[in-house]
Amino acid sequence: MHRKTLVLIEAAREVLIEYNPMTLRQVYYQLVTRQVIDNCRSEYQRLSNALVKARQEELIPWEWLEDRVRQPQVVSMWQDLPDFLNTVKRAYRKDIWPSQSQYVEVWLEKDALSGIFSDITEEYGITLVVGRGYNSWSAYKEATERFEAQDKTVKILYFGDFDPSGEDIVRALRDSLSFLGISEELREMYSGFGLSKELRDNADFFGTCPNIEKIALTPEDIAEYNLPPDFTKVTDTRSKKFVQQYGDMAVELDALPVSVLREKIRTAIEENLDLSKLGAIREIEKQEVQRLAELIGRL
């Protein structure tokens, strides 16, 4: 194997030792951030080829890299009833929301990063919504139904790229949820999908528009961590306004160091929850799991 390829594999291995599994794209942006490779298509392909060789020759474990697009749909099965009941015991989670003053969800633009998010959101009992870019109107409608069921103020913690689309998705999310949350009478007064400021204000008045905060990626993140920029896509119709406001640069969320991203997720969640009440719910949950285990043991 060529020396340059071995050097690249070792650099990728160091990234994956810190956190795994990752997608190829995640590893690529981590190496770009560390200035190991340039941010260009040829280097992406070179990394892809190198990581195939690395796994074939057992230099990197196969399970350290994942393909989130081509996931098999495995049917759940159990050896017997006790095996199934043990799964029930492990799956039991007590609802945290009756004790919280606001309902919180984490929304993520990119499915490739969902593995980094899911173990943290699951730990706190937070719903993770992955949009793969702009969300569908069906997803927005389902979200408003979740919010209405909670009957309390809603906070969305949003994570996405810093580029024309990434910034506009936050606007689209706010407008769409406002539109679906307002009364039928108000909705009939307006046509089309674009919402006026007056309509958004009415939605806020009735408490139907969630508070949406973009946690990352921000211009401050880019400056603090010296993240590698790319040029905005001229084909993106939102580019002109974005460039006027921020300049001709775009950075993907994948470029943020994983340890930093995970800390941002955890901090944002904890700042929006009553942790003492969460702890009390977890104690009750432990007691109820123990009772469930005793019941299973009698069967």
Question: What is the per-residue pLDDT across 77-86, written as a single tens digit (0 to 9) for each?
Answer: 999 988 898 8
**Quick one: pLDDT at residue 186?**
41
Same domain flag for 178 and 132: yes
Same domain flag for 290 and 176: no
Same domain flag for 263 and 119: yes
In angstroms, rounded to a whole number, what is the distance separating the alpha carbons of residues 149 and 247?
42
40 is written with which tokens? 């260009």
Same domain flag for 181 and 295: no
The DSSP H or E segment spanning 217 is none
Share of the chain above pLDDT 90, in %: 57
Same domain flag for 236 and 281: no
- Output the CA torsion 271→274→276→278 (10° steps): -100
CA-closest candidate to residue 33, choices 208, 259, 269: 259
Same domain flag for 59 and 182: no
Same domain flag for 261 and 229: yes
Q: Are 47 and 37 in contact (CB under 8 A)?
A: yes
The CA–CA distances, whole Å, from 183 to 145, 190, 192 equal: 14, 12, 16
**Quick one: pLDDT at residue 21?**
94
Same domain flag for 178 and 51: no
Average pLDDT over residues 255-273: 97
Average pLDDT over residues 230-234: 64
pLDDT-derived band at 12 (thresholds 50, 70, 90) equals very high
Domain span holding position 46: 3-64
Please indicate, yes or no, if residue 206 is contained in any of the structural domains: yes
Same domain flag for 268 and 252: yes
Amino acid at 242: F
Please indicate, yes or no, if residue 252 is contained in any of the structural domains: yes
**Quick one: pLDDT at residue 231?**
60
The end-to-end CA distance of the chain, in Å, is 59
Among all chains, which residue has been given the structure tokens 């730990």?
A: 123
Please indicate, yes or no, if residue 132 is contained in any of the structural domains: yes
Share of the chain above pLDDT 70, in %: 87
Q: How many domains does the chain have?
A: 3
21 is written with which tokens? 């599994």
Lowest-confidence pick of 95-104, 154-163, 242-251, 255-264: 242-251
156 is written with which tokens? 């969305």
Residue 181 has pLDDT above 90, yes or no: no
Residue 246 has pLDDT above 90, yes or no: no
Same domain flag for 119 and 147: yes
* Residue pLDDT, tens place only, 137-159: 888 888 888 988 998 999 999 99
Give the residues across from 212 on adjacent strands.
Answer: 156
**Quick one: pLDDT at residue 205?**
39
Same domain flag for 140 and 242: yes
